[in-house]
Structure 1
Amino acid sequence: MSKRASLARITVAYVVAFGVAATWLAFGPDTEWRWLDALIADLIGTVVVFGFSRAYRNSSCYDAYWSVVPPALTIYWWVSGDLPADDPRGWLMLGVMLVWAVRLTGNWVYSWPGLAHEDWRYPLLRGRAGRAEAAVDLVAIHLVPTLQVFLATVPAYVVVSHGGARGIGWLDIVATVVGLGAVLLEFVADQQMHRFVRRRAPGQVLDRGLWSWSRHPNYFGEFGFWVSMALFGVAAAPADRWWLFAGAAAMLAMFEGASIPMMEQRSLERRPGYRDVIGRVPRFVPRPPRRVAG
């Protein structure tokens, strides 16, 4: 199947998922909380995408859901709430989020070959589950990431739920700079990786540019974006600062506890020079590489 045909099928899957979720929000029973209504709709949409993943036997159908849902949630919360349409904090936050979403989704569209390709981690997880592979597919590959992204997006709900009660301040500027800086870091890291993949020799390791300062600069940038969302939430509701970083912390736990270890193990198995890179290049937080004694 061609890439164009594959993207058309993914588009249909997402249109159906968003349509079913929107129908639930419009006609389903309401709870007392808009955040909970949105969470239920988000989970329903995830189950729809899961259905397409099973139909196409490819869990990468879910991959772009990560980046397209947060703006949809934020816009729903804004439109259904009382935040003025000209609220500057809301627009700053949504602007940063849209830049992130367009860049990340665009990078996925560019790098995804089509339905003939599936992220190598998904068959690995399903294979380890044996007869429970369908349950692992639903829970670990679809529902858990949805819950993590939702939790990390909750600061946006806090921003649009406070009705512009607090004027824009220095923390909003910090959040904007951190968010856009994180997106820029991800963009540069991905561009460097794309160029490397086109030219690399078998077993070669990328340890130039940003990848000489961090073995996973794209994950660090992703974490930085979610920190910026939490900062916007703190700017809107300082009293809630004790829990607003929970989503960013969940992202960090996933990167450090699952994503990075799996990537590291795969690189060690496939690239003989990667152990040397581990000795020189920091794992996550970018900093100058260590000097190796001659």
Structure 2
Amino acid sequence: MATLPSYSQIHDIGQSRPGIFQLVEVAFHNFQDVFNGKRAFQDAYQQTDPLATSILASVILSGLTLIVSEITRNFSQVDRLWSILPAIYIVHYSHWASLNNVHSDRVDTAAVIAVIWSVRLTFNYWRKGGYQWSSEDYRWDVIRAAIGKPAFFIMNITFISFMQNFLLVAITTPVYLFLVVAKNFPQSEVATTADTVFSRGMMLAVILEFFADQQQWSFHQAKQSYKTTSKVPAGYDKAELDRGFLYSGLWAFSRHPNFVGEQLFWVLLYQWSAFVTDSIYNWAGMGALMYLFLFQGSTWLTELITSNKYKDYKIYQKHVSMFLPRVQSIREGGFYFPDQNEEAKKQR
């Protein structure tokens, strides 16, 4: 069996970071032997640390997305992979464990949940036209205009193509820790209440994302219909359609409930790994932390653009929190604009 890191104490697993560069170097040589015909692919795959394989794959994909983005001048190449790669990496950990006779229900459970997460998010991205060749995140144009082409090229090399790809590996590293725990401490592979809480919590996060994205999709479909026909679709408020942005349903409590679900999903996976490794925190938390930072920055930019587009959005920002609902909003049944009548207020 391929060598995974060995530990005498389960607590040490989360505190000792693996030698990433050494692992990737070994992975590179293993797969170079495959390319040169010196060994079979499955043998190299099975004998390579699965985290190293994921990182090596992300390096290759980073280079490819950089080349494609510069040739096509479309910088949303990583966006098209965003909902797919994390699930592939986690399923890869599960498959590797199976080949090497490492039994872990936690890894397998995480793989199933990740696939569900991936299918839902990929579908949502597809129906918004994300996989059309000409589709590109509108924020890249804003950034490119603000910093200039030379600086944007550097940003593409560092952040857009490479750092984002590495992040998609980093957020899956808690599952790698499940694998290391299963190999070193097979007796710990007993389902606990905590396993149930974390796994079901992740599913609830996916459900939250589903309803939030569906409400947003339905609203924009209704808004488009309203613009075309000048008729208010059944179940929608004319004032809300005129304002141009969604602030009812889940969006009356959070300005980005879908982002809440997305961040919660990966934070719960990390917290699950912290519990399994018997530690308050572990090195896999860097992925979740970077994910939170990314959402802070990207959401700030999104709202900057939105507030300039819709004049009433700043009022909405004052009364509704960006992510986690305020206690007052919950008590009042959500946000409503001052010009809405009492009946509308009660309906919320």
TM > 0.5 fold call: yes
Q: Specify the alignment match of 1:145 in structure 2.
A: 164
Asked if 1:268 corresponds to 2:307, the answer is: yes
Given the superposition, is the C-alpha separation of residues 192 and 170 from structure 1 closer, same or farther in structure 2, using an over 3 Å criterion? Answer: same
Q: Specify the alignment match of 1:8 in structure 2.
A: none
Deviations 1:98-142 (A, max 9, x none): 111111111111112522231111122233143232221232222
Q: Specify the alignment match of 1:118 in structure 2.
A: 136
Which of 151, 162, 168 is 2:181 aligned to?
Answer: 162
SS at match of 1:285: coil
Deviations 1:247-291 (A, max 9, x none): 2222111112x1111111111100011011112212111342368
Matched-pair contact (CA < 8 Å) for 2:90–2:114: no
Matched-pair contact (CA < 8 Å) for 1:122–1:141: no
The alignment covers a number of residue pairs equal to: 271
Quote how far apart the aligned CAs of 1:245 are.
2.8
Q: Specify the alignment match of 1:283 in structure 2.
A: 322
Q: Specify the alignment match of 1:58 in structure 2.
A: 74
Q: Which amino acid aligns with 2:177?
A: V
Matched-pair contact (CA < 8 Å) for 2:97–2:103: no
Q: Which amino acid aligns with 2:196?
A: I
Please list every run of 5 or more consecutive structure 1 residues that lacks an aligned counterpart in the other structure.
Answer: 1-22
**Could you state the TM-score of these two structures normalised by the residue count of structure 1?**
0.82
Asked if 1:77 corresponds to 2:93, the answer is: yes
SS at match of 1:238: coil
SS at match of 2:171: helix
Give, in whole Å, the separation in 2 of the partners of 1:291 and 1:211: 11
Quote how far apart the aligned CAs of 1:240 are.
7.1
- Of 175-184 and 84-93, more deviation after overlay is shown by 84-93
Identity value in percent? 24
Please list every run of 5 or more consecutive structure 2 residues that lacks an aligned counterpart in the other structure.
Answer: 1-26, 34-43, 224-240, 340-348
Q: Which amino acid aligns with 1:106?
A: F
Cα-Cα RMSD: 2.7
Give, in whole Å, the separation in 2 of the partners of 1:38 and 1:292: 48
Give, in whole Å, the separation in 2 of the partners of 1:253 and 1:44: 25
Which of 279, 289, 292 is 1:249 aligned to?
Answer: 289
Asked if 1:187 corresponds to 2:187, the answer is: no
Q: Specify the alignment match of 1:206 in structure 2.
A: 246
Give, in whole Å, the separation in 2 of the partners of 1:199 and 1:48: 38
Larger radius of gyration: 2
Quote how far apart the aligned CAs of 1:24 are.
5.7
Runs (4+) off by over 6 Å: 29-32, 291-294
Give, in whole Å, the separation in 1 of the partners of 2:31 and 2:105: 32
